[in-house]
Amino acid sequence: MSSLTAKEIASCLREEGVESSRLLARGSGTKKPLWDLEETSLVEMSGFTGISEYDPSEYVFTARAGTKLSEIEQVLGEHGQYMPFDPPLAECGASLGGTVATGLSGPGRIRYGGLRDFILGVQFVDGNGVIVKSGGKVVKNAAGFDLPKFLAGSMGRLAILLELTFKVFPKPEDFLTICFENKTLADAFDQLVLASRSHWEPDALELEADGRLFLRLAGNSAALRLRAESILNKLKNGFILGTDGANEYWRKVSNFTWNGNKARYAKVPISPRDLLRLDAAVNTVDVECRYGMAANVAWLSWVNDGTTKQVDKVLRDLELSGLVLKGHAGETLIGHRVEYSIQNRVKAVFDPENRFPPLS
């Protein structure tokens, strides 16, 4: 159970003598660039945990921000349910709040939607230390502004997330992964487009820079086998991955270990149209790259300190924005910075005294 209360967390923002220091909430700390900022004190959320409400028949749970994804997945799993957007880093101990603040979804995002499509409600502390609630605790709700979705990806720079409510789905009986080996990334992309437009209902479509396409299906076991056979008749160079091989592949993708443990990893949202252009551009620098969510995101990874600047330039030239998830302090946002005229006014509503770091 939780050793902290919401009121105690809210009081961090009202304590005297700390006005000068900026605050950021930290859950399990799996995404260092998000929390390790200069002159910023941490509000530790690891003591604010627990699933506060879960009724499997409602397809909805509410949990405190510090709750680990793995705990949630386990409890959901006991009732045959799951979070279809595949929140990454679950095995590494990532918390629900950190996942929301980062706006992070995994490969399963393409079938039913991402984190922003499954979040239903939020309770947060604003920069004044006031506890505010938005959204609801039922799967359908249109009352008031949709702050839960807005806060997905807000990096803890607008508010401290306290409690989060999510929609969940029944977990498919089985998963099956097909790997297609193509000579080039362009060939793999053509296959991806076909699969993405098909009625096969792929559960995940992930591209590797070497031309491999991983297509995951989810559903009833018997149905999956038949579906896979029909897909293999339509798309060339594919084979069904064994269970161990598939699990190993998806674990590397989810845990960001595909370029080793020490490397930096960044998320770069792209339009599938940007894929080949970006791939050509990153080939000029020392970066490993893979493309997830049917080529809606590029995951870049690099080891050397000096490379960060080069990646930043490549992304700026292509007007792409990136968020570094794993890596070093002070390297959160890279590439093109998007700023809206409305941004400062909305930030001032959440955080009039600038208690949290600036948005960009």
Partner 1 sequence: MPTDNAFVSLLETIYPPGRLLLEAGSRVSYQSDGLTAFAVKPMAIVVPETSEEVIDTIKLCKRENVPFVARGSGTSLSGGSLPVDGGIVIALNRLNRILALDPTLRIARVEPGVINLDVTRAAAPHGLRYAPDPSSQQICTIGGNLAFNAGGAHCLKYGMTSNHVIAVRAVLATGEVVEFGGDSLEGVGPDWTALFAGSEGLFGVALEITLRLLPEVQAFHTVLVAYDSLEAAGQAVSDIVSSGMLPGAMEIMDALAIAAAEAAVHAGYPDGADAVLIVELEGTEEQLACEIPLLSKILDSSGAKEVRVAVDDQERALIWKGRKSAFSAVGRLSPDFIVQDGVVPRARLGEALSEVKRLGEEYNLRVANVFHAGDGNLHPLILYEGSVKGSLERAEKLAGAILNMCARMGGSITGEHGVGMEKRDYLGEMFSEEDIAFMKRIRDAYDPEFVSNPGKMFPGKEAPALSMRGLHPLEQAGVLSRE
Shortest CB 3 distance to partner 1, Å: 26
Q: Pick from 1, 15, 261, 273 the residue near partner 1 by CB under 8 A.
A: 273
Q: CB–CB of 311/266 below 8 Å? A: yes
Contact between 219 and partner 1 (CB under 8 A)? Answer: yes
Buried-exposed string 146-168: b where 16+ CB fall within 10 A, e elsewhere: bbbbbbbbbbbbbbbbbbbbbbb
Q: Which is nearer to partner 1, 3 or 226 (CB)?
A: 226
Binding mask 73-102 for partner 1 (x = CB under 8 A): -------x----------------------
Shortest CB 118 distance to partner 1, Å: 8
Helix/strand/coil for 132: strand
DSSP label at 45? -
Distance between CA 94 and CA 107 in Å, rounded? Answer: 17
Contact between 129 and partner 1 (CB under 8 A)? Answer: no
Alpha carbon 341 to its chain's center: 26
Binding mask 17-56 for partner 1 (x = CB under 8 A): --------------------------------------xx
Distance between CA 107 and CA 86 in Å, rounded? Answer: 6
Encoded tokens for 286: 């020392």
Q: Which is nearer to partner 1, 62 or 68 (CB)?
A: 62
Contact between 147 and partner 1 (CB under 8 A)? Answer: yes
Q: Which is nearer to partner 1, 109 or 216 (CB)?
A: 109
Site for partner 1 in 220-239 (CB under 8 A): 220, 222-224, 226-227, 230
Contact between 154 and partner 1 (CB under 8 A)? Answer: yes
Shortest CB 17 distance to partner 1, Å: 25
Q: Pick from 9, 10, 160, 323 the residue near partner 1 by CB under 8 A.
A: 323
Contact between 140 and partner 1 (CB under 8 A)? Answer: yes
Distance between CA 326 and CA 332 in Å, rounded? Answer: 9
Q: Which is nearer to partner 1, 304 or 343 (CB)?
A: 343
In which element (H, E) is residue 231 found?
helix 221-234
- What's phi and psi for 340, nearest 5 deg? -105, 150
Contact between 360 and partner 1 (CB under 8 A)? Answer: yes
Site for partner 1 in 169-198 (CB under 8 A): 169-171, 173, 193, 196-198
Contact between 210 and partner 1 (CB under 8 A)? Answer: no
Number of other CB atoms surrounding residue 178 within 10 Å: 22
Alpha-carbon distance values, 18 to 42, 160, 167, 210 (Å): 12, 16, 37, 51
